[in-house]
Amino acid sequence: MEDLLASLGLTDADKLGAMAQGAIHIVIILIGAWVLKLLANKGIRGFREYMGNRRVSLQEKQRLETLGRVFRYAANVLITAVAGMLVLTELGISIAPILAAAGVLGLAVGFGAQSLVKDYFSGLFLLLEDQIRHGDVVEAGGKAGLVEEVTLRYVRLRSYDGNVHFVPNGQIDTVTNMTRDYSFAVVDIGVAYREDVEEIFSIIREVAAEIRADEKFRDLVLEDVDVAGVDNWADSAVMIRMRIKVMPIQQWTVRREFLRRLKHVFDARGIEIPYPHLTVYAGQSKDGSAPPFHLLSRDGQKG
């Protein structure tokens, strides 16, 4: 045993004391880092809850939750990095060459991983400019869905059919946010040319008023229906456009309910919802006379 201690240079009491002191410092650093992580996470969570209790809007709560996640991640990374450098110092390893090598390596990696660096910078501006929040429905990077997570590197979206998309922030050049502050349930309605458009306008307002008076949808609808009017003369229908201002992310719910009720009213009042019309041309002889055109009945006889 003495030979083993001698080979390790641990026979000197001063060296033993220095090593014990270094070990104690390392333990203190690790415990301090653990405590700082707990305090940082608790502080960020407490600040988010404090701000959330100050009667802020749902959108602001979503933004606070998104920023809270990013700040917790950044704080944990920073505390871990500082604690690691302090531990290396206590072990007698100079961190100056490591920092210099890390700088050179970082420069090389920066050239080789420009897309990764772009992801982080783009994610930072997405958060600072409040373009995307947790719980929004957005279209970004060619994908659309509900925002489940926003980090400095990517945005996680879940589509209506359950597919999860991880969109790198560097690929997001345009963000279409469908649920910011309020939304519009936009509906294009096609009716036959023979119908009176003024009657259709009246029916639309009537159905929209019923939805707004309904206790189930009262809190979802913000304003009365806005009937834009006749939007287009299509091949087989007169197209009428309207919209209803609703709470964020509720446009699809209100739109489906409006179409359901409108269909019932159209059926009850005999309003025609047209189908495309087809004209069949049987051809013509060279002398200009048209050949007879026969229709078959259900039993296969010519009519």
Tokens of 2: 């003495």
- For the sheet with 175-177, list strands across it: 164-168, 154-158, 143-150, 137-140, 175-177
Average pLDDT over residues 54-75: 67
pLDDT at 46: 73
For 35-44, 235-244, 266-275, which range has the lowest pLDDT when averaged over its residues? Answer: 35-44
pLDDT at 53: 65
Cα–Cα distance, 198 to 196 (Å, whole number):
5
CB count within 10 Å of CB 154 equals 20
Cα–Cα distance, 15 to 234 (Å, whole number):
93
Nearest to 182 by CA among 88, 85, 264, 249: 249
12 band by pLDDT with thresholds 50, 70 and 90: low
Average pLDDT over residues 204-216: 94
Tokens of 230: 């006749």
% pLDDT > 90, the chain = 37
Tell if the pTM clears 0.75, that is, is over it: no
Nearest to 147 by CA among 77, 68, 220, 65: 65
pLDDT at 86: 77
**Arithmetic mean of pLDDT over the chain:** 80
* Ordered domains of the chain (ranges, CATH): 2-112 (1.10.287.1260), 127-177 (2.30.30.60), 183-269 (3.30.70.100)
pLDDT at 180: 86
- pLDDT over threshold 80, residue 15: no
% pLDDT > 70, the chain = 70
- pLDDT over threshold 80, residue 122: yes
Tokens of 217: 């949808």
Q: Please tell me which residue, 61 or 80, carries the higher pLDDT value.
A: 80
Average pLDDT over residues 96-123: 67
228 band by pLDDT with thresholds 50, 70 and 90: very high
Cα–Cα distance, 185 to 4 (Å, whole number):
80
Residue 74, Ramachandran bin (φ over 0: left; ψ between -120 and 50: alpha; else beta) = alpha
235 band by pLDDT with thresholds 50, 70 and 90: confident
Q: Please tell me which residue, 290 or 270, carries the higher pLDDT value.
A: 270
- For the sheet with 238-246, list strands across it: 183-191, 238-246, 226-233
Phi, psi of 161 (to 5 degrees): -85, 10
203 band by pLDDT with thresholds 50, 70 and 90: very high
Question: Could you report the per-residue pLDDT of 79-91, keeping only the tens digit for each?
Answer: 887 778 777 777 7
- pLDDT over threshold 90, residue 115: no
Cα–Cα distance, 48 to 75 (Å, whole number):
15
- pLDDT over threshold 60, residue 40: yes
Q: Please tell me which residue, 279 or 130, carries the higher pLDDT value.
A: 130
Cα–Cα distance, 156 to 69 (Å, whole number):
14
Q: Please tell me which residue, 187 or 87, carries the higher pLDDT value.
A: 187
